[in-house]
Structure 1
Amino acid sequence: MLTFAAAVFFLIITPGPGVMTTAGFGAAYGFRPSLAYVLGLFIGTNLVMLSVMTGLAAIILSVPWLRSVLMICSVAYLLYLATRIAFAGARIAFTEAKSPPGVVGGVLLQAINPKAYAVNTSLITGFNYAPDAFLFEMITKALILNTIWIPIHLAWLWAGASLHRLNLSERTQRRINMAMALSMLGVVALALWSAKQAAG
């Protein structure tokens, strides 16, 4: 169980779409305005976990064309979120974003987030510590995952919000937002690269 908890910590703390958008929206909009988005990520993570536990994710991801559609949707949505972060507060007509996506935005990201499925699949199907008590293992895994997931994401949100609270000049804040958005694009590139490696 301790090995499982350690694996959860290291897999969740590493930057992925959820973590990067959490920090990015924290930096762009502040802590409280971004909490609804993090709540959506939390709900979405648990829905993905449930789909892995029930085998639904395995069925969906076993269909090549459907997997490709999910990847395309994921990349498109990540690009959209990167744009929201990059132009937060910018006075550029159609690109201005005054608030981060809410609960639905967080749920949607996790529903099409390749890392969410990969992490949950490796954690739920691996590290079997109660092979004769499936229900007990699934419930305790869910509790451990959530116990670690919540403080890690709140810490990333706080880290991003700390930048927001510094009351930096508009130019500096815009540069920070752009840096966060570029980091998101790096995550998108990694997702595409890993998908290509898995296909090849």
Structure 2
Amino acid sequence: MSLAMILPMSAFALASSISPGPVNLVCLASGTRYPISQGLIFATGATLGFIVLFVAVGLGLYSVLAVVPGFTQALRWAGVAFLLYLSFRLVQDDGRLAEGEARKAPGFVAGALMQWANPKAWLASASGIGAYTRGADLEEVVIFAALYLPICWLSLGSWVYAGAFLRQYIRRPAVLRTINRILAAMLAASCIYLLVE
């Protein structure tokens, strides 16, 4: 594969990974609420979950599943339920940042599963594969996935670090509660996209 294809693939991967979406918002919220290491665990799970989805779509999964009755609808409702659950958790958060307190952050598995219920991930996979590879060409799909892997992880990690940067300015619980509720509203609003597609 030529450099002329690798550069556009990388640009596509960066644009689709760093642009706001449900996973990016959870990374931002994790950075504001939890230690950076916990946010990066979620980002790692989300990255690897996306790469598995991307390769599967590249090898024809989407076309196979498109003929399975009810799959698209089940995926849509699973995505809505998961996003609403995450929104509910953000709304419930009390905004306290006690350093010594053990807190349960969204983890590796949540990150990986969230990508499979994320319409942005399916759209990025299908459109990227369609635009930059020749169908189910394994070598091209693997090269594209290898480019996507570090770009996606660094993009999601930047959202975690952005949240950690904001954290120093939002020490007051009332401020963090407000930010959490704004993020929760944005996550819940992203469900509208799932329901109207």
TM range, normalised to the smaller chain?
0.7 to 0.9
Q: State the 1:89 CA deviation.
A: 3.8
On the 8 A contact 1:38/1:106 being kept in 2, the answer is yes
Deviations 1:17-46 (Å, cap 9, x if unpaired)?
111111122222241222221121112111
Residue 126 of structure 1 aligns to a residue whose secondary structure is: helix
1:73-92 superposed matches below 5 A: 73-89=78-94
Residue 84 of structure 1 aligns to a residue whose secondary structure is: helix
Aligned partners of 2:11, 2:170: CA distance in 1, in Å?
Answer: 37
Aligned partners of 1:188, 1:160: CA distance in 2, in Å?
Answer: 22
| One-letter amino acid of the counterpart of residue 22, structure 1 | C
Q: 2:148 aligns with which of 145, 150, 166?
A: 145
Aligned partners of 2:38, 2:15: CA distance in 1, in Å?
Answer: 27
Q: 1:122 aligns with which of 120, 123, 127?
A: 127
On the 8 A contact 2:41/2:107 being kept in 1, the answer is yes
Deviations 1:33-73 (Å, cap 9, x if unpaired)?
22221121112111101211221232113335111011001
Q: State the 1:188 CA deviation.
A: 1.7
1:182 partnered with 2:185? yes
On the 8 A contact 1:30/1:165 being kept in 2, the answer is no
Residue 70 of structure 2 aligns to a residue whose secondary structure is: helix
1:63-74 superposed matches below 5 A: 63-74=68-79
| Cα 1:66/1:108, change in 2 over 3 Å | same
1:8 partnered with 2:13? yes
Deviations 1:85-113 (Å, cap 9, x if unpaired)?
2223469xxxxx93222111111111222
| One-letter amino acid of the counterpart of residue 158, structure 2 | A
Q: Percent identity?
A: 29
Residue 23 of structure 1 aligns to a residue whose secondary structure is: helix
Unaligned runs of 5+ in 1: 92-96, 196-200
Q: Which residue of the partner structure matches residue 110 of structure 1? A: 115
Q: State the 1:136 CA deviation.
A: 3.1
Aligned partners of 1:86, 1:35: CA distance in 2, in Å?
Answer: 22
Residue 103 of structure 2 aligns to a residue whose secondary structure is: coil
Unaligned runs of 5+ in 2: 97-101
Q: 2:166 aligns with which of 153, 163, 167?
A: 163
Deviations 1:101-142 (Å, cap 9, x if unpaired)?
2111111111222211111111112223xx5x9333222211
Residue 132 of structure 2 aligns to a residue whose secondary structure is: coil
| One-letter amino acid of the counterpart of residue 105, structure 1 | A
1:22-41 superposed matches below 5 A: 22-41=27-46
| One-letter amino acid of the counterpart of residue 17, structure 1 | P
On the 8 A contact 2:45/2:112 being kept in 1, the answer is yes
On the 8 A contact 2:43/2:153 being kept in 1, the answer is no
Paired residues, what number? 187
Indicate the larger mover: 22-31 or 150-159: 22-31
Aligned partners of 1:44, 1:89: CA distance in 2, in Å?
Answer: 30
Aligned partners of 1:138, 1:7: CA distance in 2, in Å?
Answer: 14
Residue 168 of structure 1 aligns to a residue whose secondary structure is: coil
TM-score of the pair, normalised by structure 1: 0.84
